[in-house]
Homo-oligomer: A and B are copies of this chain.
Amino acid sequence: MNVWPGFTPMARIEVVIDGEHVPTVRDLLLEAGATGYTALHGVSGFGHHGQHEGRLLFNDRNSLSLLISVVPLEMAEAVVAGVRRLLDGQHGVVFISETNVSRPEYFRPADPDDPPLA
């Protein structure tokens, strides 16, 4: 279902992490083929396991960051798997949702056979 004529559906990957881990997640995103990201810093949050033990995920005042990266649908699973491995044992959450872009070529990894973009 693409309700946006002229747009291309993409995967929007969002990661909430401690600010100190931003460089690691950013590098992972770019190595996995993402062509860019947007980062919001000074984010606060609270999270705990939705279970009776209630292990705290994070409870920080303004030390978190929200990283947003938009990648082609077929790349999303691999990118998120890499981020998830990175977050193992760390505080942090990952969300994935559909977004749509008007210039999909900006979000696709380089292919040496492609003609240069105008």
Contacts and interface: CB of A to CB of B under 8 A. Distances in A.
Interface of A: 1, 3-7, 11-12, 14, 16, 26, 30, 35-55, 57, 62, 64, 66, 70, 73, 76-77, 80, 84, 93-102, 105-112, 114, 116-117
Contacts of A36: 45-48, 57, 93
A77 B5 contact: yes
Tallying the copies of this chain within the complex gives 3
30 contacts: A3-B98, A4-B77, A5-B77, A12-B97, A16-B38, A26-B46, A30-B46, A35-B49, A36-B45, A37-B47, A38-B45, A38-B64, A39-B45, A40-B40, A47-B106, A49-B105, A49-B110, A50-B105, A50-B106, A50-B110, A51-B108, A51-B110, A51-B114, A52-B111, A52-B112, A93-B101, A93-B106, A94-B102, A95-B100, A97-B98
